[in-house]
Amino acid sequence: MSFPKIRMRRLRRSESMRRLVRETSLNVDDLVYPLFVREGKGLKKPIKSMAGCFHFSPDTIAAEAAEVAELGIPAVLLFGLPGKKDDAGSQAWAEDGVVQRAIGEIKKAVPQLLVITDICLCEYTSHGHCGVIKKSTSAQEHKSIVDNDATCELLAKVALSHAQAGADIVAPSDMMDGRVRYIREALEENGFHDVAIMSYAAKYASAFYGPFRDAAESAPSFGDRKTYQMDPANARQAMAEIALDIEEGADIVMVKPALAYLDIIYRARQRFDCPIAAYNVSGEYMMIKSSAEAGLLDEKTVMLETLTAIKRAGADIIITYFAKEFVKS
């Protein structure tokens, strides 16, 4: 008796068959849509460096959030651009800050939409770094050294102010040591037991952030962020960073960027049981947009392939500027 030949193509012969045996399912419930809010009124201004993205003012962002909710996207991630900046980034925790007001407007319009807020100082500081700059004590000390603990204290103030404004999830993106513990303690001590922390646990010092830094007006005015963001060559260190953040109280951990770090997402999924987010960052987004505009690839197909790869690697949550387009595709 001869055995039948193994034919893998039997399971690919039609769209219905492919759907039946598909291993990775991507759907709207996986997605978070980032939004930029800045000072002003009646503002919906296209961002030149990020096709299809806009700057909103607090009074216009609710309409955009309502559209996001209507599409079934469960959450937005807010980034703020203040009207004025200083060395400490004090507008980040101001009661009437731009993000704080935007949270209130969104929650009034679409209370069911989850509001996640980015917790960092880079958009708010006059120097563009993610924390307080240490005063130089020697000729050898680099002037872009960020004071870790002083920054953590300020980040806790920012997170608390966002929770008081109605944020559901706070997302520290600064990469200071211990900042999750500072934030969790501040939230607990002030009764915000149900506000979750989504930590940018493995955030790399990547060149893929260029369009975002233009959109958020957050590029450092001197030096770089390599003393606090992760070295792109390191994977084991990422696992240590994630483990520390979970121990300190993070509910969700994030890998950023996504595409160049799919191996990190995969390793994290194999090792940790908590929800894992991945940020499909601005440079990844604009590579596809720019290539499609040049006629070099099909945007929809590559978008779907990219987001599926991130999900297949192990991400439960994908933060992406493609979220609305995915739903409409």
| Cβ neighbours for 48, distance < 8 A, ≥ 6 positions apart | 214
269 within a domain of the structure (yes/no): yes
Check: CB of residue 255 under 8 Å from CB of residue 235: no
pLDDT of amino acid 188:
98
pLDDT of amino acid 33:
98
Give the domain CATH number at 265.
3.20.20.70
224 within a domain of the structure (yes/no): yes
Catalytic residue ranges: 203, 256
- pLDDT in tens for each of the 329 residues of the chain? 566 677 888 999 999 999 999 999 999 999 999 999 999 999 999 999 999 999 999 999 999 999 999 999 999 999 999 999 999 999 999 999 999 999 999 999 999 999 999 999 999 998 888 888 887 655 555 555 899 999 999 999 999 999 999 999 999 999 999 999 999 999 999 999 999 999 999 999 999 999 989 888 888 888 788 889 999 999 999 999 999 999 999 999 999 999 999 999 999 999 999 999 999 999 999 999 999 999 999 999 999 999 999 999 999 999 999 999 999 98
266 within a domain of the structure (yes/no): yes
| Cβ neighbours for 55, distance < 8 A, ≥ 6 positions apart | 36, 37, 38, 43, 44, 45, 47, 81, 215
9 within a domain of the structure (yes/no): no
Give the Cα separation of 28 and 103 in Å (integer): 22
259 within a domain of the structure (yes/no): yes
13 within a domain of the structure (yes/no): no
pLDDT of amino acid 94:
96
14 CB burial (10 A radius; 0-12, 13-18, 19+): exposed
Domain count within the chain: 1
132 within a domain of the structure (yes/no): yes
pLDDT of amino acid 138:
55
Beta bridge partners of 78: 35, 117
6 within a domain of the structure (yes/no): no
**Which structural domain, as residue segments, surrounds residue 200?**
27-328
